[in-house]
């Protein structure tokens, strides 16, 4: 399986913050935004990443993330010349990966919850497509899933004026290997984009779509506006301060998941200057090396 992360686009809602940089390179509290979707997929068991970027920001991502070797994963970059919808990203995936299933995540979406990684590991597999449902107070701002009385999906409506459901679709999707060819059959919507909801509807019509409701207590934050960016930063700060554990720390995830050994983890720690982040990684190293009581 590949992990496809969308980090292209213009980030127009965050202008002028995004005038000289990519939205996904902005900070959410103490880490770049892109760290959060990467670690979500790392916890889900994904080791091969394709990150969609613009020509302008490619070198910035290469400098920040490299090829993923430091974290025990593989990272390649796909160039998106101009944004034409989420589903367009599937058309950018090289043919060498077309036999693989794909988990697609939006680079400005943050997910957090106890057991979320294990849940995703167990869920993201098999034929068809899997999407998630998350109950929100403002469903008109999102793609909405309409269910029957047995919670089976009936329809998906993009930003309905009069929603029949409060269940929105977060920016995390699983597709089997047929998604690449199916994406090529899509036609642009009135917005001039290849809509991900149109692709999902193909799976729905074929009765191969599964919907999983995210567990209560799971947090999903879309960070695409200044208000949401601040809310996400405050959320991360509160959780980290209270629990003493960082969210979205790829070095820690790589070490905990066994993707890198203690020696490589120590070398990563040494690449950071003195400060909170380095001290945290040193604490994790001590804790994981301490005898269990």
Least confident of 30-39, 149-158, 227-236: 149-158
The pLDDT assigned to 115 comes to 87
Judge whether residue 107 has pLDDT over 80. yes
Work out the angle between the directed axes of helices 116-123 and 35-43 (0-180°, nearest 10). Answer: 60
Average pLDDT over residues 131-147: 90
Give the pLDDT band (50/70/90) at residue 13: confident
Tokens for 29, please give them: 């509290």
The pLDDT assigned to 293 comes to 40
Query: What's the pLDDT tens digit per position in 177-219?
Result: 999 999 999 999 888 889 999 999 999 999 999 999 998 889 9
Domains of the chain, with CATH numbers?
2-260 (3.90.550.10), 261-293 (no CATH)
**pTM, 2 dp:** 0.94
């Amino acid at each position: 399986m590949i992990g496809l992360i969308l980090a292209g686009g213009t980030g127009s809602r965050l202008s002028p913050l995004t005038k000289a940089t990519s939205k996904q390179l902005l900070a959410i509290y103490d880490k770049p935004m892109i760290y959060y979707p990467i670690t979500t997929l790392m916890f889900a068991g994904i080791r091969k990443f394709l990150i969609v970027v613009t020509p302008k920001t490619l070198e910035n991502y290469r400098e920040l993330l490299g090829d993923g070797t430091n974290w025990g994963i593989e990272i390649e970059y796909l160039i998106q010349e101009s944004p034409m919808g989420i589903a367009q990203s599937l058309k950018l995936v090289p043919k060498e990966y077309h036999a693989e299933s794909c988990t697609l995540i939006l680079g400005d979406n943050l997910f957090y919850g106890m057991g979320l990684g294990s849940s995703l590991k167990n869920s993201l597999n098999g034929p068809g497509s899997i999407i998630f449902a998350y109950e929100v107070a403002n469903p008109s701002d999102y793609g909405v899933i309409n269910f029957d009385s047995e919670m089976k999906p009936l329809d998906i409506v993009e930003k309905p004026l009069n929603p029949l459901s409060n269940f929105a679709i977060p920016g995390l999707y699983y597709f089997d290997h047929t998604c690449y060819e199916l994406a090529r059959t899509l036609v642009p919507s009135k917005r001039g984009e290849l809509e991900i909801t149109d692709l999902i509807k193909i799976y729905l019509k074929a009765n191969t779509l599964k919907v999983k409701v995210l567990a209560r207590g799971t947090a999903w934050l879309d960070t695409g506006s200044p208000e949401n960016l601040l809310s996400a930063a405050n959320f991360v700060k509160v959780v980290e301060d209270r629990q003493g554990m960082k969210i979205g720390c790829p070095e820690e995830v790589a070490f905990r998941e066994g993707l890198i050994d203690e020696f490589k983890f120590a070398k990563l720690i040494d690449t950071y200057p003195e400060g909170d982040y380095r001290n945290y990684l040193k604490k994790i190293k001590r804790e994981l090396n301490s005898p269990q009581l």
